[in-house]
Structure 1
């Protein structure tokens, strides 16, 4: 019988330090805490990423054998009741029961010029940003690259993402 090779191991604290250095959360005034939100086991063999720390996503991470969940929208937001009751308590209990860590980065991920969701969407659409905008420089702007109108943009989005975007009529 062949022995299965063990998955490489990384330390949670090293991953956390790497992400802080890469995404620089201290540079943003955000709606919630960026970085490690729930600490699980200290060793990480498998990371699962998604958009939101929903119950469905947490369960999918558990089923996939994750040690660490990496999300854009974490569990904690400014102005919310911080008590661990209801949906929040349920999700935190699920993470803790499975010794599963949760890392969330919101605006720092929006703003990252290489790995951020805005930069990656532009890349998939064949667009190149030449400037940033917005209160915290989270937006990117550049030439339209052959996109004449909203219908042409919608067609490009559909082709690049294999899904039909919802195109709403404008004012003009």
Structure 2
């Protein structure tokens, strides 16, 4: 597949034009013109690039790419080594941040919701955003469950231990979630009527907010909650477009 065709199918799927993001979405580093073998991953770290080189990849697709707002512009040190490895090996780098969070089928939030067993409601966690641009989701469990039992379900979904702040004996039925570093949305989760809010990270103030509002809180890991989108895109590229696409997980405890 030509690079231009590959970019077009990604843009058609993920609709980056809908989002005001913190980094450019799409082709970030140009490589060879023909793409047959693709590696997907969460972050374009040196370890992922090295794995892609070993795999013989023509392109890398990630959620966390390069050229973030307020990033130092100089190409030195770690940035030089990463870019140099991509360019020397003629590997394309594609990064999709918020569009990959938000996609209702292939996105990080959709994947986590499916793994937990939620029936997702068609209303945004961020009510000020159009539904297509909202990255958080609200869903319902088939049956209400105890917070500790719910914690075990989330741990199974993300394959790691998670932090639970159980604020009461209230069972969990309505779930709000937003993957990654979205702990700041906890008040919106409460206002939406959720019994629990799940995200990747936790800040010191998050626990106080959970306790004072009376909403259970789960921090399940930034990396762990954002593997779903890259995994889903590898499956899509492989099964729908016939590309040799594989997800490579670079472990990160954060």
Report the TM range for the smaller structure's normalisation. 0.7 to 0.9
Is 1:97 the equivalent of 2:88?
Answer: yes
Q: CA–CA distance in 2 between the matches of 1:97 and 1:30? A: 29
Q: Please, which of 134, 145, 150 is the counterpart of residue 148 of structure 1?
A: 145
Q: CA–CA distance in 2 between the matches of 1:18 and 1:145? A: 35
- The answer to whether the Cα contact below 8 Å between 1:36 and 1:101 also exists between their aligned partners in 2 is yes
- The answer to whether the Cα contact below 8 Å between 2:61 and 2:94 also exists between their aligned partners in 1 is yes
Q: CA–CA distance in 2 between the matches of 1:63 and 1:146? A: 46
Structure 1 residue runs of 5 or longer lacking an equivalent are: 1-9
Is 1:138 the equivalent of 2:135?
Answer: yes
Structure 2 residue runs of 5 or longer lacking an equivalent are: 167-206, 215-254
Q: CA–CA distance in 2 between the matches of 1:116 and 1:43? A: 26
Bigger mean CA offset, 82-91 vs 130-139:
130-139
Where is the helix percentage greater, Structure 1 or Structure 2? 2
Q: Please, which of 44, 47, 61 is the counterpart of residue 53 of structure 1?
A: 44
| Normalised TM-score (structure 2) | 0.61
Q: CA–CA distance in 1 between the matches of 2:95 and 2:66? A: 8
Q: Please, which of 159, 162, 165 is the counterpart of residue 165 of structure 1?
A: 162
- The answer to whether the Cα contact below 8 Å between 1:147 and 1:153 also exists between their aligned partners in 2 is no
* Count of equivalent residues: 163
Q: CA RMSD in A?
A: 1.6
Q: CA–CA distance in 2 between the matches of 1:149 and 1:39? A: 50
Alignment of 1:6-155 (within 5 A): 10-130=1-121, 131-134=123-126, 135=129, 136-155=133-152
Distance verdict in 2 for CA 1:85–1:161, change over 3 Å: same
1:85-139 superposed Cα distances (whole Å, 9 cap, x missing partner): 1211110011001000100000000000000010011111111211222244111
